[in-house]
Amino acid sequence: MIKFFLMVNKQGQTRLSRYYEHVDINKRTILEAEVIKNCLSRSKDQCSFIEYKDFKLVYRQYAALFVVVGINETENEMAVYELIHNFVEVLDKYFSRVIMFNLDRVHIILDEMVLNGCIVETNRNRILAPLFVLDKVAES
């Protein structure tokens, strides 16, 4: 099961966070700081899977953006690694360039892919269908 999903820039600033288990706000900031520090300090030659406390971190770097997913010990790391790549490909397909001004859309995409910490959809067309409907309504 996925515990949390983070998008972080190279400066360590969280750009998006979604938690699938309740974590107190104070603990979230501490958790994010430690997780970001662990991922940013690793070289590109090192594995993208990290055992951290009572869960695992799976991360991928895309240019200046890191996508970090916290999972429990029963989740398949490679499936989550591919989920991250699929998520970024969906973002790339929907947005031409700037995604940080459209975080509501990014949350919709993530919600279409992950529900209650479980991967529920990977088909790009099905993931983007609700956004295309919203875009048509907005144009009208």
What is the CATH number for 133? 3.30.450.60
Q: Burial of 83 by CB count in 10 Å (0-12 exposed, 13-18 middle, 19+ buried)?
A: buried
Q: Which residue has the higher pLDDT, 4 or 95?
A: 4
32: which residues sit within 8 A by CB, 6+ positions away? 6, 8, 14, 17
Q: How many domains does the chain have?
A: 1
In this prediction, residue 96 has a pLDDT band, given cuts at 50, 70 and 90, of confident
High-pLDDT (> 70) share of the chain, %: 96
Question: Residue 130: what pLDDT?
Answer: 94
Asked if the model's pLDDT at residue 99 lies above 70, the reply is no
What tokens appear for 23 in the block? 């974590």
Provide the residue range defining the domain that includes 59. 2-139
In this prediction, residue 43 has a pLDDT band, given cuts at 50, 70 and 90, of confident
| Radius of gyration of the CA atoms of the chain, in A | 15
